[in-house]
A and B are shown apart, each in its own frame.
Chain A
């Protein structure tokens, strides 16, 4: 009899427990920690281990939230500081006190994150994870998986893949372009909302026009952004760029004066300010990205009229076969071009063309800027509005090619809205135009 009672009691107990378990089925464990005095959690499956360390090896030219790299038992892992990444206040640690680090495993990749204090492991039912409230101040909302209430405390559950996936990309870009710093990061530090809008513009320009926003043109893109926004708001339209046409419209003010047409007298004057007193018998120019040749012919006319007895040679390159195919036999309407051109025109069967003197000084080539080329050193390189349309790795390659091809003290001309801030180049400002001198 007694036994049977005992049996029923244990049976009851078991049922109770089962029920309870069913109610609170623990299928999700998270490591909790605090950042800036608030509680956060990370899925335990992503955590490899918890450790304490300090004295990370600083890596130059990384994002501010990257603390450096750390040698974890022979494996080099990068360490990032979530407090800096999320703009949270961080206590200054005393020298010699190690930081708390959670080491996360993402695919085959390890990364350490620095947090204030590590709390404990909490088991919860994944059903109790609640969606993120739409207003969250500190942390960019896309990084939050949800919010969990456990024993009266609210934990914010971070989406590690999102945070570090995005971060990883950024780190990679950094490595690609140690010389030309990406604009996005700087944008991040500014007002967040504005920054998101702006980085969207950066992305769409890259997608639609292969236009890279970085230190070369960032000033212009920012200025244009404000202008564009107010302009679009006035028209009652959204400022985001929806298609290549709008992207082109955004960039319409970017192009240098006289793109795709012959130069006028005033532009000749601005350019002339850079021309040296010629001592040698020859003057070589590389016109990268000459398009359909207007720029090249204008240059040739300028140089020929300034140095009539010198040997002028212009290598004009473009990788658009259709455009450049027409360049050697470009027809000119004498009424539409300034006086300066007239003495260099001859009448042919189909209309006016440039004379043999000019044609002989120009060599139009179908050439990709990223490939090797075989012409001698040049005095000038004219590459207006070309660099911005290359990706950062290509830009770096092209600048080293420019460096290579230019004579010492030679000048590089970029677009009106392009600024070069690179070691080895010195800016020469002659009022209306700027050029960059190769430092000797």
Chain B
């Protein structure tokens, strides 16, 4: 993971989450992972292409996803319905887009794919030949792990 990429992702995650949830958020210790990793239950994925290739994954448990969606919509959502899913997808889009904008300013060219959302139990994600940077963010609604796996195009 190129050093220059790390900060834009961390910063934009903070800015966006703080803004949309209007509450205190805490950052966990950043770390690297390379083997398969469990996914908590709801995962929004945004693909990256351009100078680099890879993807950003926003990973959280189902109750956390519902609580975040409720907070963002200003109403109590009972289940992970279409509205909740659309909200989480949008959140992923906002964070990634802001990070990519910052990177653009630094001279790195990225393109985004439309976000997709996965839900289910006992999911795992495996990236071949690329290491993932994990940015854990602790919100009042629960923990969100931002999992960035990008590499330079060879």
Query: Is B131 in contact with A363, judged by CB distance below 8 angstroms?
Result: no
A372 at the binding interface (Cβ < 8 Å): yes
Which chain B residue shows the least CB distance to A371? B34
Among A366, A374, A376, the residue within 8 A (CB) of B32 is: A366
- CB of A374 within 8 A of CB of B130, answer yes
Enumerate chain A residues within 8 angstroms of B6, measured Cβ to Cβ.
321, 325, 366
B78 interface residue per 8 A CB criterion = no
Asked if A46 lies at the interface with its beta carbon under 8 angstroms from chain B, I say no
List residues of chain A with CB within 8 A of the CB of B76: none
Is A180 located at the chain interface by the 8 A CB criterion? no
- Are A367 and B154 CB-contacts (below 8 A) given A327-B3, A372-B34? no
In the assembled complex, which residues on chain B have CB atoms less than 8 Å from the CB atom of A327? 3
CA distance A368 to B134 in the complex (A): 13
List A residues 321-352 near B (Cβ within 8 Å). Answer: 321, 324-325, 327-328
Q: Contacting A364 at CB < 8 Å: which of B2, B130, B131?
A: B2
Judge if A109 is at the interface, Cβ distance under 8 Å.
no
Are B131 and A372 in touch, CB under 8 angstroms? yes
- Kindly state whether residue B30 has any CB partner on chain A within 8 Å: yes
Q: In the complex, which residues of chain A have a beta carbon less than 8 angstroms from the beta carbon of B130?
A: 372, 374
B residues near A373, Cβ cutoff 8 Å: 129, 131
Provide the residues of chain B in CB contact with A368, threshold 8 Å.
32, 34, 131
Evaluate whether A376 and B154 lie within 8 angstroms (CB atoms) in the complex, with A366-B133, A371-B34, A371-B131 already known.
Answer: yes
Contact between chains at A365 and B34 (CB < 8 Å): no
Q: In this assembly, does A375 line the interface, its C-beta being within 8 Å of a C-beta of chain B?
A: yes
What mask results when residues 1 to 34 of chain B are scored 1 for a CB within 8 Å of chain A, else 0?
Answer: 1111011000000000000000000000010111
B154 pairs with A325, CB closer than 8 A? no
> In the complex, are the beta carbons of A374 and B154 less than 8 A apart?
yes
Residue of chain A at shortest CB distance from B3: A364
Residues of A within 8 Å of B152, CB to CB, are 363, 374-375
Q: In the complex, which residues of chain A have a beta carbon less than 8 angstroms from the beta carbon of B131?
A: 367-368, 371-373
Chain B residues positioned under 8 Å from A365 (CB to CB)? 1-3
Task: Tell me the bound Cα distance from A373 to B32 in angstroms.
Answer: 12
Q: Is B102 located at the chain interface by the 8 A CB criterion?
A: no
**In the bound complex, how far is the Cα of B2 from the Cα of A321, in angstroms?**
11
- How many residue pairs, one in A and one in B, have C-beta atoms under 8 Å apart? 50
Chain A residues bordering chain B, tally (CB within 8 A)? 19
Interchain nearest-CB distance for B29 vs A (Å):
9
Docked complex Cα distance between A121 and B7 (Å):
72
* Chain A residue with the shortest CB-CB distance to B4: A328
Residues of the A chain whose Cβ atoms lie less than 8 Å from the Cβ of B62: none
Please tell me if A62 contacts chain B, counting CB pairs below 8 Å: no
Whether the Cβ atoms of A374 and B133 lie closer than 8 Å is no
A328 to B6, CA, bound (A): 12
* Nearest CB of chain B from residue A184's CB, rounded to whole Å: 31
Most chain A beta-carbon neighbours within 10 Å: one of B131, B133, B154: B131
| Cβ contact within 8 Å between B1 and A367 | yes
Best-buried of A327, A328, A367, A375 by chain B (most CB within 10 Å) = A367
Which of B4, B32, B129 is the one whose CB lies under 8 Å from A367? B32
Partner of A324, one of B3, B128, B133: B3
Nearest CB of chain A from residue B135's CB, rounded to whole Å:
11
Closest chain A residue, CB of each to CB of B153: A374
Q: Are B3 and A366 in contact (CB under 8 A)?
A: yes
Query: Chain B residues with Cβ under 8 A from A361's Cβ?
Result: none
Residue of B nearest to A325 (CB): B3
Instruction: Give the nearest-CB partner of A368 in chain B.
Output: B32
Question: A374 contacts B151, CB within 8 Å?
Answer: yes
Contact with A along B66-92 (1 / 0, CB 8 A): 000000000000000000000000000
Residues of B within 8 A of A325 (CB): 3, 6-7
User: Roughly how many angstroms separate A373 CA and B131 CA in the complex, as a whole number?
Assistant: 7
Which residues of A (285-333) have their CB < 8 Å from a CB of B?
Answer: 319, 321, 324-325, 327-328
Give every chain B residue within 8 A of A321 (Cβ-Cβ): 6, 30
Q: A364-B4, A367-B1, A374-B130 are in contact. List 20 more A-B contacts (CB 8 A).
A: A325-B3, A325-B6, A328-B4, A363-B2, A363-B152, A364-B3, A365-B1, A365-B2, A366-B2, A366-B3, A367-B32, A367-B131, A371-B33, A371-B131, A372-B128, A372-B130, A373-B131, A374-B154, A375-B152, A376-B154
Q: Lowest 6 CB-CB distances: which A-B pairs, in order?
A: A371-B34, A371-B131, A364-B3, A368-B32, A374-B129, A366-B1
Q: Could you jot down 30 A-B contacts, CB within 8 Å?
A: A319-B32, A321-B6, A321-B30, A325-B6, A328-B3, A328-B4, A364-B3, A364-B4, A365-B1, A365-B2, A366-B2, A366-B3, A366-B32, A366-B133, A367-B1, A367-B32, A367-B131, A368-B32, A368-B131, A371-B32, A371-B33, A371-B34, A371-B131, A372-B34, A372-B129, A372-B131, A373-B129, A373-B131, A375-B154, A376-B154
A-to-B contact residues, CB < 8 Å? 319, 321, 324-325, 327-328, 363-368, 370-376
